[in-house]
Amino acid sequence: MKAVVLKDWGDAENFSVQEVAKPAIRPSEVLVQVKAFGVNPADFKTRSGTAPYAKSYGHPIILGWDMAGVVVEVGAEVTGFKSGDAVYGMVNFPEPGQAYAEYVAASAAHLALKPAELSFEEAAAAPLAVLTAWQSLTEHGHLQAGEKVLIQAASGGVGHLGVQLAKALGAYVIGTASGKNEEFVRSLGADEFIDYTKANVEDVVSDADLVFDTAGADTIFASAKALKPNGRLISIAYGAMDKVLAVRPDIRAERILVHTSGDDLKTIGQFIAEGKLKIEVSQVLPADQIAEAHQQLESRRTTGKIVLTF
Ligand SMILES: NC(=O)c1ccc[n+]([C@@H]2O[C@H](COP(=O)([O-])OP(=O)(O)OC[C@H]3O[C@@H](n4cnc5c(N)ncnc54)[C@H](OP(=O)(O)O)[C@@H]3O)[C@@H](O)[C@H]2O)c1
């Protein structure tokens, strides 16, 4: 099979498409013929060697956690899937994902049936970002209907799904991005939009129940200030919560790490079926343009998600 192989930590030029052996499956796994795979900022942090969970990986290595495809082989212990099923998932995280390939071996627990409403490209774009948004808002953020939530970087891979999920949960949603993304963020259902290049977010919002910060060090202190007393701050891109709590000791602040879950994808599938959650795929690139995909992501200026296909 063809796969995108990373020869060493470093820049995106270290990737090349090569012929490699098809993976063998364990009894708890299925073999998926990958129709499309997605990329996330975690991928370029892993590629460069800066992600903490990447330290133990050896080279050459096949990266890639997000994918959608068709089951072609089923392990002896697997009950939920059969050959021919269209599936998607965030596979093998935080081990090397190996989904930048024509076939991937994946634990059945990491997969869900692909919602019929999604193309393979849309489904491949979704898993890591949508699981992050869902777990941040619900499991950690305990978002309730009627609450006010501020979502920092509402136009990004995670943020654009966070806006829609928060609306679907009945919240009042304020999204931030630069002005070029205002129409997009409002189209997702945001009740208010703040252009962070024109206004200080904390000057506009000071009574949020929950802030979901997907941007990081540039925004985290404004996020803390935008909360009402006893508000909740969930961050996915900034970890020094002691510094945040020094500024706002009256809030709860947590940095979370997404976990893979086919069951969560199944739950989220209801919103997709109801038309409440759309996946924005801004670009579909051929697999041999993986370096281009990584470089675009590293610019931090992409809207929605980038997906690749062989
Ligand atoms: N902890 C976890 O489990 C976890 C899970 C997923 C992701 N992450 C991390 O979360 C971060 C976001 O991931 P992602 O996939 O959503 O990234 P992304 O798609 O690359 O985000 C890009 C978006 O961020 C917006 N943006 C950049 N700076 C901003 C700012 N100062 N204020 C508001 N918006 C801003 C950009 O909008 P403009 O172009 O309009 O500026 C762009 O649309 C990454 O650092 C990623 O590694 C962590």
Percent of the chain past pLDDT 90, that is, above it, reads 98
First to last CA, the chain: 10
* Ligand 1 atom closest to Cα of residue 257: 3
* Tokens 């959650």 -> residue: 277
pLDDT at 68 (0 to 100): 99
Question: What is the amino acid identity at position 14?
Answer: N
What is the full DSSP assignment across 178-194?
-GGGHHHHHHTT-SEEE
Task: Tell me, yes or no, whether 62 and 163 share the same domain.
Answer: no
Task: Tell me, yes or no, whether 33 and 110 share the same domain.
Answer: yes
Q: β-strand 103-107 against 305-309: which pairing, if any?
A: unpaired
Structural domain boundaries, residue 234: 129-255
What tokens appear for 152 in the block?
């920092």
| pLDDT of 26 higher than 90 | yes
Distance from the alpha carbon of residue 21 to the mean position of ligand 1, in angstroms: 35
pLDDT at 194 (0 to 100): 99
Task: Tell me, yes or no, whether 39 and 63 share the same domain.
Answer: yes
Task: Tell me, yes or no, whether 87 and 199 share the same domain.
Answer: no
Find out whether the beta carbon of 152 lies less than 6 Å from any atom of ligand 1. yes
If you take atom 45 of ligand 1, which residue's CA is the nearest one?
237
CATH of the domain at 111: 3.90.180.10
Does residue 269 form part of some domain?
A: no
Does residue 215 form part of some domain?
A: yes
- The helix/strand/coil state of 304 is coil
Task: Tell me, yes or no, whether 52 and 21 share the same domain.
Answer: yes
| pLDDT of 53 higher than 90 | no
Task: Tell me, yes or no, whether 246 and 297 share the same domain.
Answer: no
Please report, for residues 26, 58, 77, 167, 284, the alpha-carbon distance to residue 261 in angstroms, rounded to integers and kept in the order given. 18, 25, 18, 22, 25
Give the pLDDT band (50/70/90) at residue 169: very high
Are the C-beta atoms of 78 and 28 separated by less than 8 Å? yes
Find out whether the beta carbon of 181 lies less than 6 Å from any atom of ligand 1. yes
If you take atom 22 of ligand 1, which residue's CA is the nearest one?
156
Find out whether the beta carbon of 301 lies less than 6 Å from any atom of ligand 1. yes
Q: What average pLDDT does the segment 265-277 reach? A: 98
Does residue 284 form part of some domain?
A: yes
Does residue 266 form part of some domain?
A: no
pLDDT at 22 (0 to 100): 98
- The helix/strand/coil state of 65 is coil
pLDDT at 250 (0 to 100): 98
| pLDDT of 54 higher than 90 | no
Task: Tell me, yes or no, whether 294 and 205 share the same domain.
Answer: no
Structural domains counted in the chain: 2
Q: What average pLDDT does the segment 279-308 reach? A: 98
pLDDT at 309 (0 to 100): 98
What tokens appear for 95 in the block?
């081990």
Are the C-beta atoms of 94 and 14 separated by less than 8 Å? no
pLDDT by residue (tens digit) across 202-230?
999 999 999 999 999 999 999 999 999 99
Note if the bond before 94 is cis, omega within 30 degrees: yes
Distance from the alpha carbon of residue 157 to the mean position of ligand 1, in angstroms: 7
Find out whether the beta carbon of 155 lies less than 6 Å from any atom of ligand 1. yes
Find out whether the beta carbon of 303 lies less than 6 Å from any atom of ligand 1. yes
Q: What average pLDDT does the segment 68-88 reach? A: 98
Does residue 265 form part of some domain?
A: no
Does residue 273 form part of some domain?
A: no
Task: Tell me, yes or no, whether 238 and 305 share the same domain.
Answer: no
Task: Tell me, yes or no, whether 209 and 244 share the same domain.
Answer: yes
pLDDT by residue (tens digit) across 174-191?
999 999 999 999 999 999
Task: Report the helix count and the strand count for the chain, using DSSP H and E.
Answer: 10, 15
Give the pLDDT band (50/70/90) at residue 52: confident
- Pocket test of ligand 1: the residue of 178, 223, 296, 307 to mutate, having most ligand atoms within 8 Å of its CB, is 178
CATH of the domain at 160: 3.40.50.720
Q: What is the DSSP letter of 153?
A: S
Q: What average pLDDT does the segment 11-30 reach? A: 98
Task: Tell me, yes or no, whether 6 and 111 share the same domain.
Answer: yes
pLDDT by residue (tens digit) across 240-266?
999 999 999 999 999 999 999 999 999
| pLDDT of 286 higher than 90 | yes
Find out whether the beta carbon of 297 lies less than 6 Å from any atom of ligand 1. yes
pLDDT by residue (tens digit) across 95-126?
999 999 999 999 999 999 999 999 999 999 99
Task: Tell me, yes or no, whether 83 and 157 share the same domain.
Answer: no
51 CB-contact burial (10 Å; exposed 0-12 / middle 13-18 / buried 19+)? middle
pLDDT at 127 (0 to 100): 98
Does residue 289 form part of some domain?
A: yes
Strand segments, DSSP code E, in the chain are 2-6, 15-19, 29-38, 66-74, 86-90, 103-107, 111-113, 148-152, 172-177, 192-195, 208-213, 227-235, 252-255, 281-286, 305-309
Task: Tell me, yes or no, whether 168 and 113 share the same domain.
Answer: no
Does residue 270 form part of some domain?
A: no
Find out whether the beta carbon of 41 lies less than 6 Å from any atom of ligand 1. yes
* Ligand 1 atom closest to Cα of residue 132: 5
| pLDDT of 145 higher than 90 | yes
